[in-house]
């Protein structure tokens, strides 16, 4: 059942067509993350839902009510931005209670709400401070607290953590996940950071040039992308892409010529007719370095040691380098010749228009 229903939503900024027919349905309590490259329309979509931008076509319904033309303040949504936008001359307590005072909520109720939000966001010791006396993380907690006291139907976050340093981002990410669990309120969250997207989201919406490219759970997008765009966007290091030289149909498999060496791909995993040429997509963790006799071979260009694992950058030919995940303690040397096994069951094929033409086996 749809709680927030977005239908054929359009947004034009003069001649620029920023949202091109967005259709999206969100259920109550869901944590939905919008990701996509810079300029794809994430903030525009969020701001249009919030009513901070007017749409130029389509409808937005919240909890059974058409809010497309409704003023932002009447939409029952609360937005948290990257820049905290706190009132600088007010204390933390006053920042938290401002919207309630504006709404003429009784003093007793205000006190109770501020107390509860302050406790859940660990702001008790900071209530009398002004924003300039707070760290970035503390300011962002106040901004989130200010949204929570209003008890909105939906929280909208636009890159709320991107001004924070790496350690604090991780900590705040966990706090947001806990907060969502506790409140159970619907959340829509915009980020560039795909780790945030993968870890926070019930569902991820990938936007590309004003359109939805794909919607799915983090694992669906990772394992079953519809397009090269999604396949490359989700996952670090990126999926390796290798253009195949030649395809030859054998009985129930397809011999794919990868730089002079064949991998056999089951024909029953192909969607549609046999194409002329394909691009082979393989994630770094779906290959293994072996002493000899692997599917393909190459030369190590460099190895990145991350402590828990290592990434070997391997040159297959003068213009093709791939990344293979290796065990943390691998003693790989630059310049070393290596042989690589490919887990064909995890291989994805793309056609010339960058659409996926293979099906992932069910149980794998």
Ligand X SMILES: Nc1ncnc2c1ncn2[C@@H]1O[C@H](COP(=O)(O)OP(=O)(O)OP(=O)(O)O)[C@@H](O)[C@H]1O
CB of residue 352 vs ligand X: minimum separation in angstroms?
27
CB of 82 to ligand X, least distance (A): 9
Task: Report in angstroms how near the CB of residue 283 gets to ligand X at its nearest.
Answer: 25
- What six digits make up the tokens of 302? 């460099």
What's the distance, CA 120 to chain centroid? 26
The least CB distance from residue 37 to Mg ion, in Å, is 11
41 to 80, contacts with Mg ion by CB under 5 A?
43
Q: Are 16 and 38 in contact (CB under 8 A)?
A: no
Candidates 4, 24, 42, 258: give the one binding ligand X (CB under 6 A). Answer: 42
Sole window of 38-46, 111-119, 168-176, 265-273 interacting with Mg ion (rule: CB under 5 A): 38-46
Buried b (16+ CB within 10 A) or exposed e, 73-103: eebebbbbbbebebeeeebbbbbbbbbbeee
- Which DSSP category does 275 fall into? P
- Position 12 contacts ligand X (CB under 6 A): no
Residue 71, judged by CB atoms within 10 A of its CB (0-12, 13-18, 19+), counts as: exposed
State in Å, rounded, how far the first CA of the chain is from the last one. 30
Query: Segment near ligand X (CB under 6 A), from 38-46, 61-69, 160-168, 216-224?
Result: 38-46
**Within 184-223, which residues bind ligand X (CB under 6 A)?**
192
Between 52 and 243, name the residue whose CB sits nearer to Mg ion. Answer: 52
Tokens linked to 338: 């290596």
Report, in Å, the least distance between residue 350 CB and ligand X: 24
Decide which of Mg ion, ligand X, none touches 145; Cβ closer than 5 to 8 Å per partner kind.
none
Of 269, 243, 270, nearest to 258 by C-alpha is 243
Task: Pick one of 6, 18, 188, 256: the residue that binds ligand X (CB under 6 A).
Answer: 18
Query: Binding residues for ligand X, per CB under 6 A?
Result: 13, 16, 18, 36, 38-44, 192
């Amino acid at each position: 059942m749809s709680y927030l229903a977005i239908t054929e939503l359009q947004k034009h900024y003069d001649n620029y067509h920023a949202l091109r027919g967005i259709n999206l349905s969100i259920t109550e309590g869901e944590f939905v993350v919008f990701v996509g490259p810079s300029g794809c329309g994430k903030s525009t979509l969020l701001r249009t839902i919030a009513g901070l931008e007017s749409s130029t076509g389509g409808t937005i319904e919240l909890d059974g009510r058409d809010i497309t033309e409704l003023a932002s303040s009447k939409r029952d949504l609360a937005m948290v931005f990257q820049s905290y936008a706190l009132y600088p001359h007010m204390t933390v307590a006053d920042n938290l209670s401002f919207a309630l005072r504006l709404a003429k909520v009784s003093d007793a109720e205000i006190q109770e709400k501020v107390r509860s939000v302050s406790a859940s966001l660990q702001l008790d010791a900071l209530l009398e401070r002004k924003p300039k006396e707070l760290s970035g993380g503390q300011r962002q907690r106040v901004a989130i607290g200010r949204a929570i006291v209003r008890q909105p139907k939906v929280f909208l976050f636009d890159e709320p953590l991107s001004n924070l340093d790496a350690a604090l981002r991780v900590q705040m990410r966990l706090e947001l996940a806990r907060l969502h669990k506790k409140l159970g309120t619907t959340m829509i969250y915009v980020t560039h950071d795909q780790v945030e997207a993968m870890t926070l989201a019930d569902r991820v919406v990938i936007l590309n040039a004003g359109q939805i490219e794909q919607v799915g759970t983090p694992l669906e997008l990772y394992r079953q992308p519809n397009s090269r765009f999604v396949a490359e966007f989700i996952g670090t290091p990126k999926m390796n892409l290798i253009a195949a030289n030649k395809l030859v149909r054998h009985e129930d498999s397809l011999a794919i010529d990868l730089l002079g060496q064949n991998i056999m791909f089951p024909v029953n995993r192909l969607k549609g007719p046999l194409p002329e040429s394909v691009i082979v997509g393989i994630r770094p963790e779906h290959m293994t370095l072996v002493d000899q006799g692997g599917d393909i071979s190459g030369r190590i260009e460099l190895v990145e040691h991350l402590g828990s694992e290592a990434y070997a950058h391997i040159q297959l030919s003068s213009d093709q380098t791939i990344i293979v995940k290796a065990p943390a303690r691998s003693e790989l040397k630059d310049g070393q010749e290596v042989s690589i096994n490919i887990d064909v069951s995890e291989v994805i094929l793309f056609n010339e228009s960058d659409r996926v033409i293979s099906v992932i086996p069910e149980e794998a």
